Amino acid sequence: MKKHYGLTLAALAVIASFNTANADDLSDKTAAFMLPNIQAPMSSSSERETGQFLKLSALLRDTDSVSVTELSASSTATMARDAKYKDAVVFTGKMPLLIRSAESTDMILVLREDKSFLAMYPDQHKIIYSTPAGEQTQITFKKPIFSQEDTLIPAVQGDALQTLARDGSSLYKGDIDKDGYIVIDVLAGFSKAAAKTIIDPEAFALAQLTTVNQALKNSRIEKIRVRLVGTQIIDQDYSITGGTLSKINKLFSQGMSEYGPDLIAAFFEGNNDDTTVGIADLNGRYSINTLYSSTSLRHELSHNIGGNHCWSGSGDHHGWDNDKTQTIQCGNDIGYFSNPDLQDNYGLPIGDKNKANMA
């Protein structure tokens, strides 16, 4: 493990200690420099089908583990209790896969008190939602393209965060939980249209944030986790553009005031004006994520904390593509950040110590 703890732990801690009262000043009163972007509509799509896809051993939220069986493949995984939010309990585990590139895939289960649940397979690009009566809907997403330029550099905020990140005196002011983890609080924002499409926005937000925590764990990045502190639903849907990103602090000001989050992640349906499938402030606080993806947030949030795409000539804070496997910031095929000490199922490292080492 590198001495800087990976994923710009300095930036994480600074974000966690950033005064949210200053947020309005940073978006409206300063210009933001937009990195070059591909100006083309981003088509997002999904397929829905109803039926019986999963069987759970128990619908008890107070249990430490749940056995989940995929009815189509007869694969079974034991899911361990991971976190709790209001009446929802999150379980995590790995479902076996019969493919060369991976023996298993991350799975996340959010179980409600009314016995409804949401299951997410981040790297399989699908979710399964079950009503309290046991009626299940499977939503399969078209895999987004994560190679477009999708970052904004807030002129003042980014400079301030990067400057503070270089100052060791400012680092460890974030929330620390009882286990010694730096905890980054996230507000998830939705439009009414997005909330309706995704059925249970709270469960969806919980699952999305758990993909980040799973990736941190997979990548052996220790003592950092993200946590959902609240959700806010607004009337209007917006396009996924830099212009919309600059408005996030206004659009979700109520939730920011109520919950005091460190980061704000918005989820919109988007439209033909979209310039990318997601966009985020680099070393900043805001991101917009396409609703039609189970992996968008882990990619965009990584930009918030300093992660860059595939190696571009300098630095090591990049994703990695070894021609077989693509990490989160360089293709987003697997739930891992670049780490040269780890290998994929082909025996190839998923990072480079000089070019791509976010661990």
Which candidate, 51, 211, 205, 208, places its Cα nearest to that of 130? 51
Structurally, the chain folds into a number of domains equal to: 2
Q: Which residues of 57-74 are buried (b: 16+ CB within 10 A; e: fewer)?
A: eebebeeeebebbbeeee
Residue 349 lies in a domain: no
Residue 136 lies in a domain: yes
Residue 300 lies in a domain: yes
Judgement on whether residues 93 and 128 belong to the same structural domain of the protein:
yes
CA distance 260 to 122: 28
Domain end among 290, 306, 322: 306
Domain end among 85, 110, 141: 141
CA 268 vs CA 104, 204, 242: distances in Å: 30, 13, 14
**CATH number of the domain where residue 179 is located:** 3.40.390
Judgement on whether residues 79 and 227 belong to the same structural domain of the protein:
no
Residue 315 lies in a domain: no
Judgement on whether residues 161 and 109 belong to the same structural domain of the protein:
no
Q: Do residues 88 and 227 make contact, with C-beta atoms less than 8 angstroms apart?
A: no
Judgement on whether residues 102 and 153 belong to the same structural domain of the protein:
no
CA distance 145 to 247: 24
CA distance 308 to 356: 9
Judgement on whether residues 171 and 229 belong to the same structural domain of the protein:
yes
Judgement on whether residues 153 and 244 belong to the same structural domain of the protein:
yes
Per the rule left: phi > 0, alpha: psi between -120 and 50, beta: everything else, 200 is beta
Q: Using CA atoms of 77, 50, 127, 286 in order, give the dihedral in degrees to the nearest 10.
A: -160
Domain end among 87, 118, 141: 141
* pLDDT tens track, the chain, 359 positions: 333 344 454 445 444 444 444 444 434 333 233 333 323 334 456 789 999 999 998 777 778 999 999 998 889 999 999 999 999 999 999 998 755 556 788 999 999 999 999 999 998 889 999 999 999 999 998 766 554 555 555 544 443 343 333 333 333 345 888 888 899 999 999 999 999 999 999 999 999 999 999 999 999 998 899 999 999 999 999 999 999 999 999 999 999 999 999 999 999 998 888 888 889 998 889 999 988 888 889 999 988 888 888 888 778 888 999 999 999 889 888 889 999 999 998 999 999 999 999 88
pTM of the model: 0.82
DSSP 8-state symbol, 8? T
Judgement on whether residues 36 and 76 belong to the same structural domain of the protein:
no
Residue 358 lies in a domain: no
Q: Which domain holds residue 161?
A: 9-43+148-306
Residue 355 lies in a domain: no
Judgement on whether residues 137 and 155 belong to the same structural domain of the protein:
no
Judgement on whether residues 38 and 50 belong to the same structural domain of the protein:
no
Q: Which residues of 135-167 are buried (b: 16+ CB within 10 A; e: fewer)?
A: ebebbbbebbebebebbbbbeebbebbbebbee
Judgement on whether residues 55 and 199 belong to the same structural domain of the protein:
no
Name residue, tokens 């988007």: 270
Q: Do residues 280 and 287 make contact, with C-beta atoms less than 8 angstroms apart?
A: yes
Residue 256 lies in a domain: yes
CA distance 84 to 121: 19
Taking residue 118's Cβ as centre, other Cβ atoms within 10 Å add up to 24
Name residue, tokens 């976190």: 83
CA distance 291 to 316: 30
Q: What is the largest CA-CA distance in the chain?
A: 56
Judgement on whether residues 117 and 179 belong to the same structural domain of the protein:
no
Q: Using CA atoms of 317, 354, 325, 227 in order, give the dihedral in degrees to the nearest 10.
A: -30
Tokens encoding 91 = 């379980």
Residue 337 lies in a domain: no
Dihedral over Cα of 221, 19, 30, 252: its sign: positive
Judgement on whether residues 27 and 69 belong to the same structural domain of the protein:
no
CA 358 to chain centroid, in Å, comes to 16
